[in-house]
């Protein structure tokens, strides 16, 4: 019988990696807590229309990347390709958006039918934040400062750069779009195939074409920044001033447009050159029109999503994962001879009671070469228990030097001070 395998582009995350995932998640959570964020958890499946209406019908995601299917009731459902639309839907449905402010975060798997490669998968994970009800540039700045703080905590700030742009109002963008199309129509024969197709459907996306010819055509194209409305211009200038004051470095990239239709004003990406083509680890921006577009009362919003797999690849590439992250237990406890197993299990329970936070793994199989095996686990503490005339005594290793003959009555105190040392 053929063996059943995982779906292409959908990865198992194995026990050797989960500690790194947990380390990243814990670090993110503590940074989010420092900014007063609350968690929200949304379903993985939504009505297909939610994504069509928010992300936009002529985006890559909706045109060719969604996992869409009919359920038994013939309703069209989609595995979420991103979190913002669901978050807005949930916020609106439960009255969290109108006439108030929110700072929300979520995490979980997202699904896109893409060509799997390093840093690009069909099931991937995002940690996202969304803020609602704040129209001024201070929240744009805070959201970006939060991400910068996170990179600093993770030790990757030097490996990422912040690319920043303003898309302006919808009207400004429409005017610019017309000017860009006129310019490119006159140079059609020099464009790559993808860009030609986008000329009709989503011309702004041509700006971030990877094609060298297209990019050189764009060198003479009208610039979005010349079309910005006064309000967006002021908003962007205020944001830049606040980032300058906070010491957050950025590059203004006039060709940064993002692939989702709902953005306006601020857009940004954190990019690294350490991961090859999949270099964007975090991306976001302002989406003031989205809540209304999904049927709610007008509510401004700003947010971003980071790619968990890409961040983990970056942590590994830069070798900045703390050494103890991958060690799932502090003490390995083993019996030196048969017949003591029951007592060792009880001893482990006593140690868990007596030493808060201590993670104990008990050796529960054969006893051959037990001392060597226990020390090969790499546990910071290894304890070997044996029966003597004086009762149970333990040898404890912390590093190379063993301490012999620790009486049962003293064990918890000795382990406690070694653990806390
Ligand atoms: P890209 O241009 O790399 O396709 P995107 O603009 O489609 O990215 P967003 O929708 O903005 O990406 O998602 C935010 C972040 O989620 C990205 O910056 C990236 O880190 C991550 N991400 C997006 N798609 C994938 C994927 N297929 N596999 C892994 N990570 C992804
Ligand atoms: Mg994409």
What is the tens place of the pLDDT at every residue in 24-49? 999 999 999 999 999 999 999 999 99
Q: Does the pLDDT value for residue 209 go beyond 80?
A: yes
pTM of the full structure: 0.92
Predicted local confidence at residue 232, as pLDDT = 96
Res. 68 pLDDT band, cuts 50 70 90? very high
Same fold across 18-169+229-318 and 331-419? no
Positive or negative, the Cα torsion across 68, 72, 75, 80? negative
- Quote the ligand 1 centre to 126 CA distance (angstroms): 9
Q: Which atom of ligand 1 is nearest to the CA of 121?
A: 28
pLDDT digit string (tens) for 125-149?
999 999 999 999 999 999 999 999 9
CA dihedral 229, 233, 234, 237 (to 10 degrees): 180
φ, ψ of residue 6 in degrees (nearest 5): -65, 155
Strands 381-388 and 360-362: unpaired
* CA 132 / ligand 1 centre spacing (Å): 22
Q: Are 110 and 123 spatial neighbours (Cβ–Cβ below 8 Å)?
A: yes
Arithmetic mean of pLDDT, 67-88 = 98
64, 124, 260, 314: residue to mutate for ligand 1 pocket, most atoms within 8 A of CB: 124
Span from the CA of 112 to the centroid of ligand 2 (angstroms): 8
Query: From the CB of 304, is ligand 1 less than 6 Å away?
Result: no
Q: What is the pLDDT of residues 248-306, one digit of tens each?
A: 999 999 999 887 778 999 999 999 999 999 999 999 999 999 999 999 999 999 999 99
What is the tens place of the pLDDT at every residue in 302-351?
999 999 999 999 999 999 999 889 988 999 999 988 888 889 999 999 99
Ligand 1 pocket, residue 121 CB under 6 Å: yes
Is residue 400 predicted with pLDDT exceeding 90?
no
User: So where are the chain's domains?
Assistant: 18-169+229-318, 331-419
Task: Just give the CATH number of 18-169+229-318.
Answer: 3.30.930.10
More confident residue, 170 or 148: 148
Query: Distance (Å, rounded) from C-alpha 121 to C-alpha 118?
Result: 8
Q: In the beta sheet, which residues pair with residue 67?
A: 79
Q: What is the CATH number of domain 331-419?
A: 3.40.50.800
Q: What is the dihedral sign for C-alpha 184, 186, 190, 194?
A: positive
């Amino acid at each position: 019988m053929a063996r059943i395998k995982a779906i292409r582009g959908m990865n198992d995350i194995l026990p050797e990696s989960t500690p790194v995932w947990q380390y990243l998640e814990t670090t993110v959570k503590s940074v989010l807590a420092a900014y007063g964020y609350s968690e929200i958890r949304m379903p993985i499946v939504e009505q297909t229309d939610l994504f069509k209406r928010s992300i936009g019908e002529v985006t890559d995601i909706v045109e060719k990347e969604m996992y869409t299917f009919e359920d038994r009731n013939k309703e069209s459902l989609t595995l979420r390709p991103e979190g913002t639309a669901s978050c807005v839907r949930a916020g609106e449905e439960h009255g969290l958006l109108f006439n108030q402010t929110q700072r929300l975060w979520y995490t979980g798997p997202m699904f896109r039918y893409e060509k799997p490669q390093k840093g690009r998968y069909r099931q991937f994970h995002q940690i996202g934040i969304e803020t609602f009800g704040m129209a001024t540039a201070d929240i744009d700045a805070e959201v970006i400062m939060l991400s910068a703080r996170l990179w600093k905590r993770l030790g990757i700030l030097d490996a990422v750069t912040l690319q920043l742009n303003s898309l302006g109002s919808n009207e400004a963008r429409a005017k610019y779009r017309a000017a860009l199309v006129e310019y490119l129509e006159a140079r059609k024969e020099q464009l790559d195939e993808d860009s030609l197709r986008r000329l009709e459907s989503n011309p702004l996306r041509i700006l971030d074409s990877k094609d060298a010819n297209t990019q050189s055509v764009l060198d003479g194209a009208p610039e979005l920044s010349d079309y910005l409305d006064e309000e967006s211009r002021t908003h962007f200038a205020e944001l830049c001033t606040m980032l300058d004051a906070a010491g957050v470095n950025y590059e203004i990239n006039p060709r940064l447009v993002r692939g989702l239709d709902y953005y306006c004003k601020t857009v940004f990406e954190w990019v690294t050159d350490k991961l090859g083509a999949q270099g964007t680890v975090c991306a976001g921006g302002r989406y003031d029109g989205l809540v209304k577009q999904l049927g709610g009362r007008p509510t401004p919003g700003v947010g971003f999503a980071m790619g968990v797999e890409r961040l983990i690849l970056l942590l590994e590439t830069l070798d900045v994962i703390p050494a103890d992250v991958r060690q799932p237990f502090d003490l390995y406890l083993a019996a030196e001879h048969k017949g003591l197993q029951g007592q060792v299990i009880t001893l482990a329970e006593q140690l868990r009671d007596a030493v808060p936070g201590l993670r104990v793994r008990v050796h529960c199989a054969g006893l051959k070469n037990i001392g060597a095996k226990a020390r090969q686990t790499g546990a910071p503490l290894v304890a070997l228990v044996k029966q003597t005339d004086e009762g149970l005594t333990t040898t404890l290793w912390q590093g190379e030097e063993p301490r012999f003959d620790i009486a049962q009555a003293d064990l918890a105190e000795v382990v406690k001070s070694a653990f806390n040392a």
